[in-house]
Amino acid sequence: MTRTDFTEITHSAVIRQETHGWRAKCLQRLIRLDMPVPRTVSLSFAAVRAIAAGNLPDMDRLLARFAPGQLLSVRPSPQFPDWGGPGALLNIGMNDTRHAEIAAAHGEPVATRLYLRFVQAYAQHVARLDPELFDAAEPCLPALQAALHDYENEMEEPFPQDPALQLAEVLRSMARAWEGTSARLLRQAKGAPAEAGLGLVVQAMAGGLGADNSGAGVIEFIDRVSGERRITGRFKAHGQGREALENGADTLYLTRDPRGPSLEDHSPEAFGALVRHGEIARAKLREEMQIEFTLDKGELAVLDAVPVVRSSRAEVRVAVALAEENIISRDEALMRVPPRALADLMHRQVDPRAPRDLFARGIAASPGAAQGRIVFTSSAAQASAAREEACILVRRETTPEDIRGMHAASGVLTERGGMTSHAAVIGRGLGLPCVVGASGVRVDMRERSVSVGGRVLREGDMITLDGSTGEVLAGTVPLLEPALDESFRTLLVWADARRDIGVRANADTPADAGIARGFEAEGVGLCRTEHMLFEDDRLLVMREMIFADTEQDRAAALERLLPMQRADFAHLFDIMQARPVCIRLFDPPLHEFLPHTREGMRGLADALDRPLSEITRRAEALSEFNPMLGMRGVRLGLTVPEIYDMQARAIFEAAAAVGGTRGDRVVPEIMIPLVSAVREVEMVKARVEAVAASVRAETGAEIDYRLGVMVETPRAALRAGEIAQHVSFLSFGTNDLTQMAYGLSRDDAGRFMSDYVKLGIFSEDPFQMLDREGVGELIMIGAERARVARPDLTLSVCGEHAGDPESIAFCRDAGFAYVSCSPFRVPVARLAAAQIAIAGAR
Amino acid sequence: MTRTDFTEITHSAVIRQETHGWRAKCLQRLIRLDMPVPRTVSLSFAAVRAIAAGNLPDMDRLLARFAPGQLLSVRPSPQFPDWGGPGALLNIGMNDTRHAEIAAAHGEPVATRLYLRFVQAYAQHVARLDPELFDAAEPCLPALQAALHDYENEMEEPFPQDPALQLAEVLRSMARAWEGTSARLLRQAKGAPAEAGLGLVVQAMAGGLGADNSGAGVIEFIDRVSGERRITGRFKAHGQGREALENGADTLYLTRDPRGPSLEDHSPEAFGALVRHGEIARAKLREEMQIEFTLDKGELAVLDAVPVVRSSRAEVRVAVALAEENIISRDEALMRVPPRALADLMHRQVDPRAPRDLFARGIAASPGAAQGRIVFTSSAAQASAAREEACILVRRETTPEDIRGMHAASGVLTERGGMTSHAAVIGRGLGLPCVVGASGVRVDMRERSVSVGGRVLREGDMITLDGSTGEVLAGTVPLLEPALDESFRTLLVWADARRDIGVRANADTPADAGIARGFEAEGVGLCRTEHMLFEDDRLLVMREMIFADTEQDRAAALERLLPMQRADFAHLFDIMQARPVCIRLFDPPLHEFLPHTREGMRGLADALDRPLSEITRRAEALSEFNPMLGMRGVRLGLTVPEIYDMQARAIFEAAAAVGGTRGDRVVPEIMIPLVSAVREVEMVKARVEAVAASVRAETGAEIDYRLGVMVETPRAALRAGEIAQHVSFLSFGTNDLTQMAYGLSRDDAGRFMSDYVKLGIFSEDPFQMLDREGVGELIMIGAERARVARPDLTLSVCGEHAGDPESIAFCRDAGFAYVSCSPFRVPVARLAAAQIAIAGAR
């Protein structure tokens, strides 16, 4: 080891975040801001690596930096605060001698408390002894003696008395802990590279043991949850480090407070200095900091400062406030807020301060918190909604029949399914908190109970879902309301000014479209028309259409659906004003519209006045081995062409009507699903054009529209050059494309996906983050071939991936016009797109 | 029109098949062989096209080629015999005058018959009048007069008397018929291009009306069904054209025959000349010809000759015989037999001469004919087999549970499914005739009946399946036995000498492997190990494994499967001798091993001694939305790794044992299914290598093996470069690759595939013929990337496509080492590969 092993942190010392860590750098900044920071020495990443390898610095030289007998603390200093590291270790240097000295100066209890704390921490974190052995209740002399005795017993040597030895062992143990597997996994989860280094800072402990106005405290200048500016924190006389936050009996509020004594009253000068330091730190460190301080007989020392841990809502508010005060730039503000944080703001949240009674854990499929009484059927959910009583719909899995139940429920919990199961997709679409694939949960429909291990909850029991973490909590827990406040809106206005890729919303109903408009989507990128047809009045007509025996009966049913669809589309065009609306023609297999239970079949037999046996037989005949790969999309559209004819007519008539009322022209976009061959496109195109011609002739309106293809089979991507010649736009449906590229059903992948990601077989769940290597290559092949054939083609991505920042970056790199995601992800996508543009410009 | 409008066919005339059609050319050859062909004039394709457009040749000039008053015939002459064309029209020139002349020479009845026939044919085919009007029973003078009267009534003009006008109208009507839609579709189905032309030949009718030894006949020199050389045909005194074949009362046999008088006895000289002409035609036209002839007072005229229409078996026998006699080359013989014809030879066939009582029509899923009593369950099939009574298993669709029933049945009929449904694939594998997706058929399991429209067949009724045509026949029909005769074997030996791509067989059981060996497969290209596990004794152990509660229970079940699988593999290695055997690790989802009926569930509950509710619950938990895209293949292999461990051990132990016995080394090939990411390959590879190391250590044997990947997801094709670095071979599984490229389940495609092909949306069923544009591109991408990464990699295709000639051509073009198809398609593939090589060399 050389002289550069360690560096005292001064105004002029060479301390860099990349070599000494963020804490060392932060402390130097505080020093440069003339704050009263106790003497501190920084050990670089290289030095700590050397320590781990067994090469200690010269301890005598290191200790010579401090006053003789000075107690020391050691804190971790990785490159970024959230990369973790070992906990701080205080009071290094305590031994029998120091115990006697402090006892003489401040009384035996003070000395004993310090010494016992040190022995406990040292035994646990340095000697790695069983913490329970040293978990004494009340700090008193006998407890201290017992601890020292136990230590000697276990280690077969007395507790080390030499401060140099103590410090050396602390440094060694921290250096080695950093190399451990669990520490490495933890920091890698936060994005740290494998070779990330740890720095350490050794600091003189600053008093706080003496008279009345001595002690330690922590101060913050914002509310962690709301982000509002107000001073919070605690001060504890005779305390050390963060003890004040433990809410002991003898803590002080910081500002004047009717609930008890405050530091402001008690030590107004010190308090004033602290507030001034806080202001300076905020302005110069360009961040809301939590400051750890001590008072020694009224004299202030600033020990440490870390960014305030805060809620997503506070994150947004702070970023916007700092930018509005010109402390940071708007770009900086945009970059500081993780896009996913916005999702939290749009939903109720479980109060992070509340205790949680964890019942089960599943996949966090749709963010936000919900609570209510457990129901097991859609009809129970509707009944509950009718009583205005919140309920949580619990199912093994949901089917399209559950849509009404989902509308009525506050949240959904399913035993089965993954991120893109029916429940998850619909949940996100509705903004409904949803936990799916809850492991170990067993739903018993007959018993009307849900159980995990031995624990059982029954219909009517209260339950809370945290759709942001996947936790299922028994009983009620305090929730925070959504926070679509001014800061949220401001940030997104800034984001829109920066981003260079469009963001549309997937909106299946006028209600969805309203939300999409509220979140400033630039249009509807995907309207799945079938979702309109699951509504109560339409469902029965759909079923009549499916069971029609003759062309005439089918035509009659479609004739009744036409005005309903026309009204839907008119409503949609109206809500979206001049913004583009892309309508996907009917996609799902017909059997999705049939009931799935015997009860439902019986109801349908009644409604259609046909024998039950015929209903079940026809339903069975429509069932498929692999519905995902079956008679759906354009295949159904060409086999039963009257459906698309009806939809095209509804679209054109609605466009003509709305355009007529508004005085402009509505140019709907019509998208063909599940194409695999160019002939499919040609044939649908011919029929749609024929319908347009009829409507033109009948209404005299100018009917204009754009036709496009949803590229969701690998073959459509490969044949995109041919297909492009017949259409104005292509939208890549990455859900299905992922399913087909991998040969992997999103509904069935839940069973092994988490194992696969854990084992690193898939680096990420490809339904969550677009697989650039496989699916991405198919998209690029398709985009290139389509552009060669038709350079003016509009390209986009719709589907769940479109809300994922990585995937948005992919689309921007590919030069796509827009992404289209579920309405509740629109703000996330807007921010993510801005960040990508800013990062690209840098 | 110019003088070249028509050409009299002489030795030296310029008559080409490409411009005048095969019949004109054939007649010229007969003339050049000095056969007594009556005067014949040929109209070229161009001339006929001009006629259709309204430009008739100079009729007087044309008629001047023939003697005055000569009756004429007109016959079609397209470029190839099987391209169809209008029927021949005889006796042109008949009118009142000729009627009187012939009546004077040969008697009134002869003249009346000729005239009536002509009026009937002219009215129907030229004037396009309703044939029923002219469908008189007995030819007699009143009938003739009525016909002439009716003609005049309908046409409002008398029957034309001018021979030039008659001929002109006949030529015009034939020329126009060729342009009609149905004629075009018929010839396009035979491979004719859209612009294919029609030639016509106008020939002098050769007497046959006179004394006793006058008349017309048809002679063939082979048996149409067996291909054996023997003279068949008929002669009819006073007959015309092909009337002799109508088996009227006054026809003669040709050769001496105990059943009646013969031409050989009656006109030995003419018969002798005919036989000599036949010999010459065979040798010079290099084909077995059917010759149409007349005798006019004992004088022979040869009117026409066409290739004998024959069975597939006769096709092979003729081709081999001609080559063995050096009349044609071996290459020519190989090129003459359509590969699919071989499939017919390997199975029983419905006798083409027998009448058929068509009950329903479905997809011809597995060739050959079968008949037996209808059964509706596998157990009934097994019971039937135990009574040695042939049965046909009729199901809505088959599942793996039906395997035993399929083994026991003579054929399978299903209401649902397509060419690659379970029933179809297994049927072809077992060489079991199979008709699937029978349209309009309804199977009623409760009633034990199968119905189409109003017609019902019940359990125990006799039924016949023609798996080569897809016909379902009520009752019994005479069947022809398979014909794996010397000619068949000789042809395939010649094929092997010419082909330059390997042919392996997919063989799942030792029985399959035996068949594969019998058909000279060069190895096993795909052994689907799960099929071994559906056998009775294994199935229960598999189910125990699936229901195991603990690792130990699962290990115990696998422990019991190990010796069974080892024995299977040993048997396989033994049968295939030194030929390579490629074993695919377990692929299907586990739920395929569970019973699908409540009855089956109850049986399993008994067998496992568990409550029924648990069985149904576990089965339900294993069920999947899209099993094709679910927890199967390597996903299952990595999630329950003990299964692959067991299989790898069974393979290595079997290889060691068989190698030890035989004294050589068995080098098994192990193939990983459903790979989508390279990590899957790395992980399986590590485990397989570990098992190999254990077996090496335990047995002391040298264990050598080759590891490969079945490329069946689009992503695996795209990532083939990475994957290739870890394996020795890649085999493209084109079934799954097609399913995933199209997003199309083979089990569900049946519902719309025939519509799709009919509408030209898909040019062919992509499960039948490899889709070069989409799936083919994925394969080429995969092959190129894999070869760049590892030039010595072995590439192949396994799956149903491998038996399809077009797809074999694709694989050969791509430079693949081999194709692997079901055992019964091996001969087809061997011949197809030879034809591709010959065509490539030309």
**CA quadruple B649, B653, B654, B657: dihedral, nearest 10:** 180
Residues forming a β-bridge with B461 = none
Same domain assignment for residues A125 and A177:
yes
Q: Within 13 Å and on the Cβ side, how many CA atoms surround A795?
A: 27
The mean of the pLDDT values for chain A is 90
Q: Which of A233, A238, A243, A300 is nearest to A272 (CA)?
A: A300
CA distance linking residue A426 with residue A365, whole number of Å: 10
**Model confidence at A760: pLDDT above 90:** no
- The most confident of A318-322, B125-129, B636-640, by mean pLDDT: A318-322
Q: Which of B45, B56, B47, B77 is nearest to B197 (CA)?
A: B45
- Confirm whether B607 is domain-assigned: no
- Sequence-distant (6+) residues with CB within 8 A of B176 are B52
CA distance linking residue A237 with residue A257, whole number of Å: 17
Same domain assignment for residues A433 and A525:
no
Cβ–Cβ contact B674 with A under 8 A = yes
Kindly give the residue spans of alpha helices, DSSP state H, lying in B33-162. 45-52, 59-63, 96-106, 108-121, 141-155
Residues of B in contact with A719 (CB under 8 A): 773-774
- Confirm whether B341 is domain-assigned: no
Q: Which helix (H) or strand (E) holds B666?
A: none
- pLDDT top residue among B79 and B757: B79
Amino acid at A328: I
Kindly give the residue spans of alpha helices, DSSP state H, lying in A71-225. 96-106, 108-121, 141-155, 163-179, 181-189
With an 8 Å Cβ cutoff, are A714 and B774 in contact? yes
What pTM, to 2 d.p., does this model score? 0.78
Q: Which of A321, A323, A292 is nearest to A206 (CA)?
A: A292
Residue of B nearest to A749 (CA): B630
- Confirm whether B641 is domain-assigned: yes
CA distance linking residue A636 with residue A588, whole number of Å: 9
Split at pLDDT 50, 70, 90, the class of B212 is low
- What CATH number is given to the structural domain containing B419? 3.50.30.10
CA distance linking residue A806 with residue A827, whole number of Å: 15
Q: Residue B137 has what pLDDT?
A: 63
CA A244 to chain centroid: 31
CA distance linking residue B769 with residue B832, whole number of Å: 14
CA distance linking residue A472 with residue A481, whole number of Å: 19
- Over residues B4-22, the mean pLDDT reads 92
CA distance linking residue B489 with residue A831, whole number of Å: 72
Residue of B nearest to A773 (CA): B719
Annotated binding site of B: 528, 584, 712, 733-736
CA distance linking residue B745 with residue B416, whole number of Å: 13
One of A347, A422, A571, A591 is an active-site residue; which one?
A: A422
The CA-atom distances, in angstroms, between A166 and each of A59, A119, A129, A139, A395 are: 10, 11, 16, 21, 58
**Model confidence at A562: pLDDT above 50:** yes
Pairs of residues, one from chain A and one from chain B, whose beta carbons lie less than 8 Å apart? 170
Say if residues A9 and A41 touch (Cβ distance below 8 Å). Answer: yes
Same domain assignment for residues B12 and B107:
yes
CA distance linking residue B229 with residue B317, whole number of Å: 10
**Model confidence at A2: pLDDT above 70:** no
Q: Is the dihedral of CA B271, B277, B283, B286 positive or negative?
A: negative
Q: Is A422 a catalytic residue?
A: yes
- Confirm whether B544 is domain-assigned: yes
- What CATH number is given to the structural domain containing B295? 3.30.470.20
Kindly give the residue spans of alpha helices, DSSP state H, lying in A228-329. 263-266, 268-285, 312-324
CA distance linking residue A367 with residue A342, whole number of Å: 10
One of A434, A798, A811, A821 is an active-site residue; which one?
A: A798
With an 8 Å Cβ cutoff, are B752 and A679 in contact? no
pLDDT digits (tens, 9 = 90+) for B197-210: 999 999 999 876 76
Q: Length of chain A in residues, anyone?
A: 842
- What CATH number is given to the structural domain containing B694? 3.20.20.60
- Over residues A581-585, the mean pLDDT reads 97
CA distance linking residue B330 with residue A132, whole number of Å: 91
Please list, residue by residue across A656-674, b when 16 or more beta carbons sit within 10 angstroms of its beta carbon and e when fewer do.
bbbbeeeeeebbbbbbbbb
pLDDT digits (tens, 9 = 90+) for A181-232: 878 877 887 888 888 999 999 999 987 676 667 888 999 999 888 899 999 8
- Selected for mutation to probe chain A from B597, B748, B756 (highest A CB count within 10 Å) is B748
pLDDT digits (tens, 9 = 90+) for B351-403: 888 888 999 998 888 888 999 999 999 889 988 888 888 999 999 988 877 87
Cβ–Cβ contact A781 with B under 8 A = no
CA distance linking residue B732 with residue B664, whole number of Å: 30
In this structure, the number of other CB atoms found within 10 A of the CB of residue A760 comes to 10
Q: Which helix (H) or strand (E) holds A821?
A: strand A818-821
Residues 598-637 of A with CB under 8 A from B: 624-631, 635
**Domains: count for chain B:** 4
Q: Residue B3 has what pLDDT?
A: 44
**CA quadruple B443, B625, B528, B417: dihedral, nearest 10:** 30
Radius of gyration for the alpha carbons in chain A, expressed in angstroms and rounded? 32
- Confirm whether B601 is domain-assigned: no
pLDDT digits (tens, 9 = 90+) for B749-777: 877 887 888 888 998 889 888 999 999 99
Residues of B in contact with A679 (CB under 8 A): 759-762
Cβ–Cβ contact B171 with A under 8 A = no
- Selected for mutation to probe chain A from B613, B635, B636, B780 (highest A CB count within 10 Å) is B635
Q: Residue A378 has what pLDDT?
A: 86
Please state the φ and ψ torsions of residue A811, each to the nearest 5 degrees.
-65, -35
pLDDT digits (tens, 9 = 90+) for A61-112: 999 999 999 999 999 999 999 898 898 999 999 999 999 999 998 889 889 9
With an 8 Å Cβ cutoff, are B714 and A774 in contact? yes
**Model confidence at B82: pLDDT above 70:** yes
Annotated binding site of A for Mg(2+): 712, 736
**Which ipTM score applies to this complex?**
0.77
pLDDT digits (tens, 9 = 90+) for B273-331: 999 999 999 999 999 999 999 998 888 999 999 999 888 889 999 999 999 999 999 99
Same domain assignment for residues A229 and A269:
yes
In this structure, the number of other CB atoms found within 10 A of the CB of residue A458 comes to 14
Q: Residue B34, SS3?
A: coil
Same domain assignment for residues A189 and A220:
no
Same domain assignment for residues B170 and B242:
no
Burial class (CB in 10 A: 0-12, 13-18, 19+), B699: middle
Residue A295 token pair:
């008072």
Q: Do β-strands A818-821 and B434-436 pair in parallel, antiparallel, or remain unpaired?
A: unpaired
Same domain assignment for residues A473 and A507:
no
Least confident of A223-227, A563-567, B61-65: A223-227
With an 8 Å Cβ cutoff, are A626 and B775 in contact? no
- pLDDT top residue among A355 and A722: A722
Of the candidates A451, A480, A509, which is a domain's last residue? A480
Same domain assignment for residues B127 and B193:
yes
In this structure, the number of other CB atoms found within 10 A of the CB of residue A193 comes to 10
Q: Residue B185 has what pLDDT?
A: 79
Residues of A in contact with B631 (CB under 8 A): 748, 751-752
Which domain range does residue B449 map to?
A: 348-480
Q: Which of A466, A460, A436 is nearest to A384 (CA)?
A: A460
- Confirm whether B248 is domain-assigned: yes
Same domain assignment for residues A656 and A557:
yes
Of the candidates A425, A449, A480, which is a domain's last residue? A480
With an 8 Å Cβ cutoff, are B638 and A756 in contact? yes
Owner of token pair 């022209």 = A665
pLDDT digits (tens, 9 = 90+) for A791-821: 999 999 997 788 888 899 999 999 999 999 9
With an 8 Å Cβ cutoff, are B631 and A752 in contact? yes
- What CATH number is given to the structural domain containing A97? 3.30.1490.20
**Model confidence at B513: pLDDT above 70:** yes
pLDDT digits (tens, 9 = 90+) for A311-324: 888 999 999 999 99
- Confirm whether A102 is domain-assigned: yes
Split at pLDDT 50, 70, 90, the class of A3 is very low
**Model confidence at A727: pLDDT above 90:** yes
**Model confidence at B165: pLDDT above 80:** yes
CA distance linking residue A606 with residue B476, whole number of Å: 45
Same domain assignment for residues B190 and B220:
no
DSSP class of residue B590 equals G
Q: Which of A346, A367, A381, A371 is nearest to A434 (CA)?
A: A367
Residue of B nearest to A626 (CA): B626
Same domain assignment for residues B359 and B467:
yes
Same domain assignment for residues B559 and B692:
yes
In this structure, the number of other CB atoms found within 10 A of the CB of residue A104 comes to 10
Q: Length of chain B in residues, anyone?
A: 842
Owner of token pair 């101060």 = A219
Annotated binding site of A: 528, 584, 712, 733-736
- Confirm whether A802 is domain-assigned: yes
Residues of B in contact with A726 (CB under 8 A): none
Say if residues B72 and B92 touch (Cβ distance below 8 Å). Answer: yes
- Selected for mutation to probe chain B from A711, A745, A746, A748 (highest B CB count within 10 Å) is A748
Residue of B nearest to A759 (CA): B679
pLDDT digits (tens, 9 = 90+) for A373-407: 999 998 899 888 888 889 999 999 888 778 778 88
Q: Residue B208 has what pLDDT?
A: 67
Q: Which residues of B are catalytic?
A: 422, 798
Of the candidates B310, B340, B360, which is a domain's last residue? B310
E strand spans, A159-274:
198-204, 215-222, 229-237, 251-253
Q: Residue B249 has what pLDDT?
A: 59
Residue/partner pairs of B453-456 with CB below 8 Å, 24 or more apart: B455/B359
pLDDT digits (tens, 9 = 90+) for A684-714: 999 999 999 999 999 998 899 999 999 999 9
